[in-house]
Structure 1
């Protein structure tokens, strides 16, 4: 896909990965409709790219706000690239989560992208070439303790992407599923960051993820899994899940210990 003059709807635009993608798209010459609840974090980018970037305030859990996004996309002259990057996460064992936390992950991570994609599909189909990009996670392929509900939403998003790609196979709309590994963003709580440090997990910068996403879009990729050895573990989990079970069980005591730490307590590996 040619990014110059592309007309993009980008959700989660004020988050770490979303903002990095917004900046990369603007630099590539695309026109970007940034969807976020608040404008403050986007202010520097809006000032730097006044002709390329605009913002619409929207809470994507609300049907009325999804329609606001549709109206803004129509006003922009249509859309040929939809990037569903909005997401929320809570690191905790399942019994530690509040029902509201679970509902928020389901609403933002899976309900919102499905419903917004449905709403924008008529516009996407009008374009000569169009793409839906769903930003998932390595945890959409590997179930991981401490992230059961989050994994459920990302597994669902991966399945949605695969099915939608096949559903649109006879149209000009393609589907790209992106699976970042751990990334330095504010979505990660202090305990999640401390656990990553304790496990010596590889953690990417948002700009690294954004660059890979931009190249995948330009290359008309169907999926993108970031990081090694994470890509290997995804394949291993598909082929030999019991082997991965045994490996991850060794991490379970550490995961439980960090999940029980209060957020205001000093965290050490």
Structure 2
């Protein structure tokens, strides 16, 4: 896909990864509708992009709310003159023991990471199908292929997003509309709090700066990739887990004990 002049609706644009993706897309000439819940953070991202210069519009909204999803899509279409690409990047995470996790938080994570992207895609899809071309990009995670202890709700939501991406891609085959699933490993962004960062250091978890993940997302979009896994050896273990999950169980046993200790602290 040629990104010059491409009209893109990007959710979660006010976060560390979202802003990095926005900047990488803007550098390639994309026209952006930046969606997120924090107006002040969106303003900061938009000012930076406009100074490049690039076209960046702001849409304040929450993808877990039906009326705001509809407004998000209509506003993006009005400001950009249409939508060529939807990037579902908004996400929520909590590092904790599942038995102790607040049910409201579980619902929020699944709503933000899975149901919101599915329903927002449903709002955008008819417009893409009428055009006969376009792409949906879902930002998943290595945790959506390997279930990680103490990230149970997050892993479940990302497993679901990966399944949604695969099924929708097959359903849309031949329509001109593609679906890309990008699975980064852990990223150094504010979604990971101090406890997660301390745990990651002890277990020697590999983490990428958001700019590295953003570049991978842009490459996947430019190459019309179906899937892209970011980082080695995590990309290898994701495939190994699909074939030999009990082997990965044993490999993670020591790490799981450390993670539980931090999750209980």
Q: TM range, normalised to the smaller chain?
A: over 0.9
TM-score of the superposed pair, with normalisation by structure 1: 0.94
Counterpart Cα distance in 2 of 1:253 and 1:70 = 44
TM-score of the superposed pair, with normalisation by structure 2: 0.96
- 2:116 is aligned with 1:119: no
Q: CA RMSD in A?
A: 1.1
8 Å contact from structure 2 (residues 59, 76) kept in 1: no
Any gaps of 5 or more consecutive residues in structure 1?
A: 262-269
Aligned to 1:220: 224
Q: Secondary structure at the match of 1:251?
A: helix
Counterpart Cα distance in 2 of 1:200 and 1:74 = 44
Aligned to 1:264: none
Counterpart Cα distance in 1 of 2:213 and 2:233 = 16
Q: Within 5 Å, which residues of 2 pair with 1:156-171?
A: 156-171=160-175
1:70 positional shift? 1.6
Q: Secondary structure at the match of 1:49?
A: helix
1:13 positional shift? 0.3
Q: Number of residue pairs matched?
A: 261
Detail structure 1 runs of 4+ shifted over 6 Å in the superposition: none
Cα offsets for 1:104-153 (capped at 9, x unmatched): 10110001000000001111123353110000000100011111111100
Counterpart Cα distance in 1 of 2:74 and 2:196 = 37
8 Å contact from structure 2 (residues 132, 175) kept in 1: no
Of 6-15 and 67-76, more deviation after overlay is shown by 67-76
Aligned to 1:27: 27
8 Å contact from structure 1 (residues 90, 189) kept in 2: no
Counterpart Cα distance in 2 of 1:116 and 1:124 = 13
Cα offsets for 1:61-88 (capped at 9, x unmatched): 1111001112112202110100000000
